[in-house]
Amino acid sequence: MNQATSTPLAEASEESDRQITVLGAHELTDYIPHRRKSLVLDRLTVNHEAKSGIGIFALHGPRADHCMEDHPWGFPGHWAFEVAAVTAAGVIAVIRNIKMTPETGIMLVGLDGARWRSRAMPGDTLYCAVSVKAFKREVAFFDIRMTDGHDNVVFEADKLVGMVKQA
């Protein structure tokens, strides 16, 4: 595939020999129902074999206005973390087939090596790639890399730590 036109989503969809699950925002709320009103992802693609996923967040329209409120210099960092957190929770929920309820779910408890590399602006589409690096008992460790549609790294973290509670 041409490197210039390659996106994380295109690369994920080309892996036809692996089990892939693609969820739109509506289907994702079946796994994360408490986020129904404030879900930040438009789509989540999960590669079960690779234990990874890509969350897509389009920074357009009223959503962009809300995210960028009081931040004319670019996409604020707390929103980048929110996109990464929901992508990580969605990947674990889909791979482990966990329906998030008050009794089950994932609580993000740590973040190491967080770096904001460049700005995202209204009109950008963000691709948040999350990989499960280890899963020990109830603790999941993720690597995160968020890019814009031009392959500029917006946000990355060496380790996001989540506590998974299953029924």
Per-residue pLDDT tens listing for the chain (167 residues): 344 444 444 454 444 445 999 999 888 888 877 666 667 788 999 999 999 999 998 877 676 666 666 665 566 566 777 788 888 888 888 888 877 776 777 777 888 888 888 888 778 899 999 999 988 888 889 999 999 888 899 899 988 888 887 66
CATH number at residue 161: 3.10.129.10
Task: Name the domain count of the chain.
Answer: 1
Joined together, the tokens standing for residue 105 give: 């779910």
Q: What is the pTM of this model?
A: 0.77
In the chain, DSSP assigns E strands to: 20-24, 43-47, 52-58, 105-112, 115-116, 125-136, 139-147, 153-165
Distances, alpha carbon 97 to alpha carbons 11, 92, 117, 136, 143, in Å: 24, 8, 33, 17, 21
Its domain, for residue 11, covers 3-165
